Amino acid sequence: MKKKEELPDCPVATTVSLIGSKWKLLIMRNLLVRPWRFNELQRSLEGISQKVLTDSLRSMEEDGIITRTVFPEVPPRVEYALSELGESMRPIIKSMESWGTEYKKELE
């Protein structure tokens, strides 16, 4: 998790620095539904590379937004889920969904 002094002074800039990339928002959108495995996420996010997905998941885990659970099986199974902090973003992402829906209606 980042230290307070590493974050921008502006609260909006802080939020953008944590989840502002296209891919992080789409990963969170998926994780709002249920935990996902890496390959499931990659297949569901058309156009994301393995490297970008890996980097995004690592960054989100370091920031405390998601959790990574490794199950002691052969072969190992890893699942990603929203942490409590990540869950607190649910209303923001839902608002973005509502806004996007209304915007698209205006274009009809």
The per-residue pLDDT for range 58-108, each reduced to its tens digit, is 999 999 999 999 999 888 899 999 999 999 999 999 999 999 999 999 998
If DSSP codes are grouped into helix, strand and coil, which group holds residue 80?
Answer: strand
Q: Is the pLDDT of residue 15 over 90?
A: no
Given a contact cutoff of 8 angstroms between Cβ atoms, the answer to whether 80 and 28 are in contact is no
Place of tokens 């994301």: 48
Predicted TM-score of the model (pTM): 0.86
CA angle 67-70-75, nearest 5°?
145
Q: Is the pLDDT of residue 9 over 90?
A: no
* pLDDT more than 70, % of the chain: 99
When the pLDDT of each residue in the chain is averaged and rounded to a whole number, the result is: 92
User: Which ranges constitute the DSSP H helices of the chain?
Assistant: 11-19, 22-31, 38-44, 50-62, 84-87, 90-106
**Residue 27 dihedral angles phi and psi, to the nearest 5°:** -65, -45
Q: Tell me how far apart the alpha carbons of residues 28 and 86 are, in angstroms, rounded to a whole number.
A: 8
